[in-house]
């Protein structure tokens, strides 16, 4: 595999991973009611809404003019991302989607030559790979929080987004039968969980 092929594969896998994590978060968010979006389980915890607001604020800062400006924009007020000023769900979802749109608008058009450039975040130089990996791991961390909170609120009514308990062997068989053809790893697990849930 040539170096160009490695970069192309990296871009493709990064976009697939970002989309898979967004889908996981969206499916978790869809399982909670409007009030639960804003509930904190203790004084030190963040609500789902706060995590969403923080992620969107981060995305708008990091990915707007990704290749030409510092990822920490002077217009960003990070501290206010952890303050809920409105409990309007539609407003929250709109902000969430704007953040993701900024991400995909920046990452999807990347070309091979772009990977020879560097970008800065808070004045620290990053290769394009390092910048993408930094955000991918950051978002995965916060989406795990969203899923945890949504699962906590739904309890026994939770619809699994990954391999359900005691179903690992069945999932392996599902893969061997080719039923997940064309799906990424997380999408395959979510599809299997949904089919398993429908049968129960």
pLDDT tens digit sequence for 76-97: 999 999 999 999 999 999 999 9
**pLDDT given for residue 163 in this prediction:** 83
pLDDT tens string 180-200: 777 777 778 888 888 877 766
pLDDT-derived band at 115, boundaries 50, 70, 90: very high
Burial 95-131, CB ≥16 within 10 A → b, else e: bbeebbebbeebbeebeeeebeeebebeeeebebeeb
| Domain locations along the chain | 3-158, 159-200
Mean pLDDT for the chain overall: 94
**pLDDT given for residue 200 in this prediction:** 60
pLDDT tens string 161-187: 988 888 899 888 888 888 777 777 777
**pLDDT given for residue 173 in this prediction:** 87
Give the global pTM. 0.90
pLDDT tens string 132-163: 999 999 999 999 999 999 999 999 999 999 88
* More confidently predicted of 178 and 115: 115
**pLDDT given for residue 170 in this prediction:** 86
Distance CA 16, CA 187 (A): 10
Give yes or no for residue 47 having a pLDDT over 90. yes
Give yes or no for residue 36 having a pLDDT over 70. yes
We find that the CATH architecture of domain 3-158 is: Up-down Bundle (1.20)
């Amino acid at each position: 595999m040539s170096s160009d092929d490695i970069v192309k594969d990296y871009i493709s896998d990064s976009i697939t991973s970002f989309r898979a994590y967004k889908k996981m978060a969206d499916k978790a968010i869809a399982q909670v009611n409007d009030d639960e979006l804003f509930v904190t389980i203790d004084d030190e915890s963040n609500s789902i809404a706060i995590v969403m607001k923080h992620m969107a604020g981060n995305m708008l800062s990091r990915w707007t003019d990704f290749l030409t400006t510092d990822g920490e924009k002077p217009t960003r007020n990070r501290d206010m991302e952890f303050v809920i000023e409105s409990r309007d769900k539609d407003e929250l979802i709109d902000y969430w989607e704007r953040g993701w749109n900024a991400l995909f608008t920046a990452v999807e058009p990347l070309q091979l030559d772009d990977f020879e450039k560097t970008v800065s975040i808070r004045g620290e130089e990053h290769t394009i790979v390092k910048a993408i990996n930094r955000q991918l791991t950051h978002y995965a961390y916060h989406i795990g929080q969203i899923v945890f909170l949504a699962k906590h609120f739904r309890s026994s009514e939770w619809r699994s987004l990954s391999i359900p308990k005691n179903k690992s062997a069945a999932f392996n068989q599902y893969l061997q039968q080719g039923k997940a053809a064309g799906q990424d790893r997380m999408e395959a697990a979510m599809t299997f969980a949904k089919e398993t849930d429908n049968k129960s």
